Amino acid sequence: MSNEQKVAIITGASQGIGASLVKAYRDRNYRVVATSRSIKQSGDHDILAVAGDIGDPATAERIVKEALSRFGRIDTLVNNAGIFIAKPFTDYTVEDFTSKIATNLAGFFHITQRVAAEMLKQGSGHIVSITTSLTDHPISGVPTVLANLTKGGINSATKALAIEYATKGIRVNAVSPGVIKTPMHTPETYEFLAGLHPVKRMGEIRDIVDAILYLESAGFVTGEILHVDGGQSAGH
99: Cα within 13 Å, side-chain hemisphere: 9
pLDDT number for residue 1 = 45
Rounded alpha-carbon distances, angstroms, from residue 119 to 21, 165, 178: 21, 10, 30
Q: CA 209 to CA 212: how far, in whole Å? A: 5
DSSP letters, 11-51, are: ESTTSHHHHHHHHHHHHTT-EEEEEETT----S-TTEEEEE
**Rg (alpha carbons) of the chain, rounded to whole number:** 17
**Residue 16 near residue 205 (C-beta atoms within 8 A):** yes
Among 74-78, 150-154, 160-164, 181-185, name the one with the lowest average pLDDT: 181-185
CA distance 187 to 65: 40
Distance from C-alpha of 58 to C-alpha of 110, rounded to nearest angstrom = 9
| pLDDT at position 203 over 60 | yes
pLDDT tens for residues 183-198? 888 899 999 999 999 9
Task: Write the pLDDT tens digit of every residue in 78-103.
Answer: 999 988 888 999 999 999 999 999 99
Which domains occur in the chain, in start order? 7-177+205-227 (3.40.50.720)
Query: Model confidence over 42-61: pLDDT tens digits?
Result: 889 999 999 999 999 999 99
Query: Amino acid identity of 213?
Result: L
